[in-house]
Every structure is written in C-alpha cells, then in structure tokens.
Amino acid sequence: MPFRDLFWDEPTVSSNKYRVRQADVTPYSPANHTGTKNFRLIGAETVGAKQLEVLVGEIERGKGALPHAHPGIEQVCYLLEGEAHVEVAGEKFEMKPGEACFFPPDKTHLFLVTSERAKVLVIYAPPYEEDPARRKT
C-alpha cells in the first residue's frame, strides 16, 4: 500500500459533499449584467456555506456588470482570463489576469470586458445568494 494511502482518505464521488465542479453547476444570468453566465460553486445550496459565496463568471467582450451596488455585501473579483475595465466609487482602472479588485459594500461599481472574453472568480461576503427564479422580468 502506498504511504499516501495510509493517511489520506480519498472521498468517493458519491460521498463528496465539499468539492464542486463548474461543469456540474447550472449557470444563470445575473441581474445588472449583460453577456454574463455565472456558475455558483460555493454557496448554501452546493456545500452549505453560510458566510460567503464563490462563483465563476464567464463574460463576453463589451459586456459585464452595469453600474450597481450591493448593500451590506463585500465583493472580490479575481481575473482568471481576459482583460477588463473596472470602476468603483469613482476610481477607474484596467485589469489583467492574476489581478484582483475589491468592491466595498454600498459602493457603485462596474466591470466591463475589453478582451474577446473573460473569466472571473467572484467572492461575496456575506453571500449575495441571487436567485434568478425570484427576479422580476
């Protein structure tokens, strides 16, 4: 038996409740965004998280978050792929892969993709828990 197997109990697929694959999550189009598909990876419904929410957003060129704010919610965006123009509380800057930005609670922000497409890791605390099924159209 390999040494690793003596100490590492690898969970089986059927009993794994803390790992989430993007391919297993149904995407949704968030409010105040255009050309965006969000995949909620970590949240109450996926792993039972109560204090934060993590998602991956896939965004088309020229699209993204329109100016809006999240009352009482902090947001972090970590750019995985592509490039984006960001504005938050009057500050403007460009982002490249490997860079992160912070949107304080209640501060108006926007995030627009300037490359062909972008992929961004987003963290909300406390959880935003947007439910597209409850959104009025």
pLDDT digits (tens, 9 = 90+) for 17-71: 899 999 999 999 999 999 999 999 999 999 999 999 999 999 999 999 999 999 9
| CA–CA distances in Å: residue 134 to residues 30, 46, 58 | 11, 18, 22
84 close to 58: Cβ distance less than 8 angstroms:
no
In degrees and rounded to multiples of 5, residue 47 shows phi and psi of -130, 5
88 close to 107: Cβ distance less than 8 angstroms:
yes
Full set of structural domains in the chain with CATH: 22-128 (2.60.120.10)
Quick: pLDDT tens for 68-85. 999 999 999 999 999 999
Spell out the residues 6+ positions from residue 34 whose beta carbon is closer than 8 angstroms to its own.
63, 64, 66
Quick: pLDDT tens for 86-134. 999 999 999 999 999 999 999 999 999 999 999 999 999 999 988 765 4
CA 106, CA 20: separation in Å to the nearest integer? 30
Quick: pLDDT tens for 89-98. 999 999 999 9
Q: What is the pTM of this model?
A: 0.84
> Which residue in this structure is represented by tokens 């896939």?
58
**In a 3-state reduction of DSSP, which class is residue 75?**
strand
Using 50, 70 and 90 to split pLDDT, how confident is the model at 11?
very low
